[in-house]
Structure formats: C-alpha cells, structure tokens
A and B are shown apart, each in its own frame.
Chain A
Amino acid sequence: MTDDYTLVRDAQGGSHKAFEALVHKYQRQIANLIYLSMGNRDEVEDLVQEVFVRAYRSLPRFKFDASFFSWLYRIGLNLCIDEIRKKKIRRIVSLDFLTEDAIEHQRQEHSSALTSEGTLYDERKEIIRDALQQLSMEYRQVILLREYEDLTYEEIAKTLHITVQAVKSRLFRARAELKILLKDYFQEMV
C-alpha cells in the first residue's frame, strides 16, 4: 500500500486517483469520529463528504506539519463545531423542543428505536453514544482520539493544538466524567 506522503504529494500534483485512495483509507474512521461526536446517524454521510471536499480544496496548503489524518480530523472537528452551533441557533429559533408534548414524543421515539433495534448489545452501544454526547466537546474529542483512534498523547496534542500535559489532565478528567455517566452500563457488565 502506498504511504500517505506519496499519496498526498500525488494528490497535490492533481491526481484524483491518489486522493480517492486517501478517501478510501480514512473515510470510515472520519465517519465514526463524526458519528460519535454528533450522535446522529442521519447527518454523518453529508458531513464526511463535506470534510473530504474541504480537504481537497485545501490540499495545496497542506505542508506535512502534522499527519494527514490529524489534518483531516481537524477539518472534521471544525465542521462538527459549526454544525453544533447552527443546531443550537435553530433550536433557539424554533423553541418547539420546550413543549412537554415534544419532549414526550422524543422520548417515545427514542425508546421505540431501542426496542425495534432489539438486542441488549445495541442498547449498550446506544448508552455509550449518549454518554459521549453529554461530555463537553473538549472531553469528547480527547477521549475519541485516545480510545477510538489510539493516537499517542503527542499526536493528540498536535491534532487539538494543546500541550501533552493538557492532554494528560484532560484525558483523566474526561475518563472520570464518562465513568460517572456510564455507572449503569458498568453495573450491567458485572
């Protein structure tokens, strides 16, 4: 398999084939990071597509200061933050979410989704995704990059533009908070 450096160089030189190979290599990782960051399956494909389109446009400016994945992830992260901001504005504008009927409707939808998906295994995955949604974006990112992507502290620091020490303490606090949120999840596992 051709390494990222060669693929990026070729893609910068105008090779669509090289860029497609990069898309193929990272699309699943980016999709899942977006999925776990946003918690909504419906919008993942559009966001992943937007990440790669933006990456392609910005490719001439990529200088190999960080890994291609880190750079790509950073684009995805900014996109997610923009999307969350837009959603907040839409929610404030609509105000529908405040009515009791709307809350009840959401609760019913959520529980029927779990029942129809059926298995306990799916329920447990849903609990993890819900817990991640309750973390702040700062904590969510550091947890995902470490636990899902297995990035080193140095790589996380570079990706999130923070120090290694900050990664260390943020990761500890994020884990502690997530453990509290997943209390029931751990009890089920015993």
Chain B
Amino acid sequence: MNHKTLLQMLSAYSDGYTNESQRATVLSHLETCSECRKFLREQKQMKAGIHEAADFHLHHAFSAKIMASIQATEAMEIPWMGVEPSARNTVFALAVAVVMLIAVTVFGGTQQEFDAQHLLTAGMNDSLANNVLMHQTELSKDDVMLAVMTK
C-alpha cells in the first residue's frame, strides 16, 4: 500500500470512517511513520483553527430584524392580508372565466346579428315579391299572399 493511499485512509480514520481492518492498518502504520502522525496532529490543529476563525457574532436583536424584514416584504407583496394563496388563485381564475364569457357573448352576438341582416337583405333583393310589389302604391290580399309564397 502506498503512502498516498495511507494518508487518504488516515483522513477517513480521523473522522471514524474506516472499517476494522483499515483501522488496524492505520494504527500499525502510525507507530512507525512520523509524517502520518504529523498529518493527524495538523488535522486536529486545523479543525481547532477553523473553529477559532469562525468568530462572527450577530447582535442580539438580529432575528427580530430578520422577522421585521420578512413582515415588511409580506405586507408589500400581499395586499389581501390573511387570504390564502389558493383562494387568491381561485378568484383570479373565476375573474378570467367571467371576462372570457363576456367577450364570447359580445363578439358572438354581433356576428349573429350581422349574418341575419345580410341574409334578409340579400333575400329581399333577389325575391320575386320584391320585384313585383316595389312598383305598386296599394297592396291587395292577393299581393300579400304572393309575397309570402315567393319569399
């Protein structure tokens, strides 16, 4: 086993991640290798050093400051205080549905009216009744019957 593999094993050993046989190998190697003993010692010093270097302290009211910031953000983002997001989504979906319904009714209705008018006009111009009756000043019963039958 080369030294690099042993050092790698040593790193895992210091964290308790070696099995029985690996542990035995490491322990017997440590008895004879001063470099590996140094490696292990420095690893402990490094850990202690990192803990010492983590010396950032927050002031005691920091959590209150965070909560104030969260509440301020919430107040700005949600004008309907207390309303569940799912309820908001439902209302929004309903509003969209109503707008679509109105749009269909308005535009669909105009189209229908236009078509009826077009048919009526077209029918009148082409009908025999129109051609015969438009020149008469007075209409008899027979004229009306003719108009009905030919339309």
Interface positions of A (Cβ within 8 A of B): 16, 19-20, 23-24, 27-28, 31-32, 35-36, 41, 44-45, 48-49, 52-53, 56, 121, 124-126, 128-129, 132, 143-144, 146-148, 153, 168-169, 171-172, 175-176, 178-179, 182, 185-186, 189
Besides A147-B50, A148-B54, A153-B17, 12 other A-B contacts (C-beta < 8 A): A16-B67, A27-B63, A32-B55, A32-B56, A53-B70, A56-B70, A128-B49, A143-B50, A171-B15, A172-B7, A172-B11, A175-B11
Complexed CA–CA distance, A44 and B58 (Å): 9
* B46 contacts A53, C-beta separation under 8 Å: no
State the Cβ distance, B55 to closest chain A Cβ, in Å.
6
Count: A-B pairs, CB below 8 Å = 102
Q: How far is the CB of A33 from chain B (nearest CB, A)?
A: 8
Cα–Cα, bound, A184→B26 (Å): 27
Does B131 reach chain A (CB closer than 8 Å)?
no
B47 / chain A contacts, CB cutoff of 8 Å? 147
Contact assessment for B64 and A179 in the assembled complex, using a CB-CB cutoff below 8 Å = no
Given that A19-B67, A148-B54 are known contacts, is A185 also in contact with B49, CB under 8 Å in the complex?
A: yes
A48/B69 in contact, CB under 8 A:
no
Task: State whether B52 touches A169 (Cβ < 8 A).
Answer: no
Q: Is the interface of B mostly helix, strand, loop or mixed?
A: helix
- In the A-B complex, the 7 residue pairs with the smallest Cβ-Cβ separation, listed nearest first, are A32-B54, A128-B53, A172-B11, A35-B56, A23-B63, A125-B53, A128-B49
Tell me whether B58 and A31 are in contact (CB under 8 A): yes
Tell me the bound Cα distance from A52 to B64 in angstroms.
12
Within the assembled complex, what's the spacing in Å between the Cα atoms of A176 and B64?
41
Whether B114 sits at the interface, judged by CB under 8 Å, is: no
Which among B15, B17, B52 is the interface contact of A128 at CB below 8 angstroms? B52
Whether B66 and A52, one on each chain, are in contact in the complex, defined by CB atoms closer than 8 angstroms, is yes
Which residues on B sit within 8 Å (CB–CB) of A41?
A: 56
Partner of B46, one of A23, A121, A147: A147
Please, what's the 1-or-0 string for B4-25, where 1 marks a CB less than 8 Å from any CB in chain A?
Answer: 0001100110010100000000
* Separation of A168 and B69 alpha carbons in the complex (Å): 40
A-B contact pairs, 20 of them (CB 8 A): A20-B63, A23-B66, A28-B57, A32-B55, A35-B56, A36-B53, A48-B58, A49-B69, A124-B49, A125-B49, A128-B53, A132-B53, A143-B50, A147-B47, A153-B17, A169-B8, A171-B15, A172-B8, A172-B12, A179-B42
Query: Are A179 and B46 closer than 8 Å at their CB atoms?
Result: yes
A40 to B54, CA, bound (A): 12
| Chain A proximity of B149: nearest CB distance (Å) | 74
- Please, how many angstroms separate the alpha-carbon atoms of A48 and B65 in the complex? 11
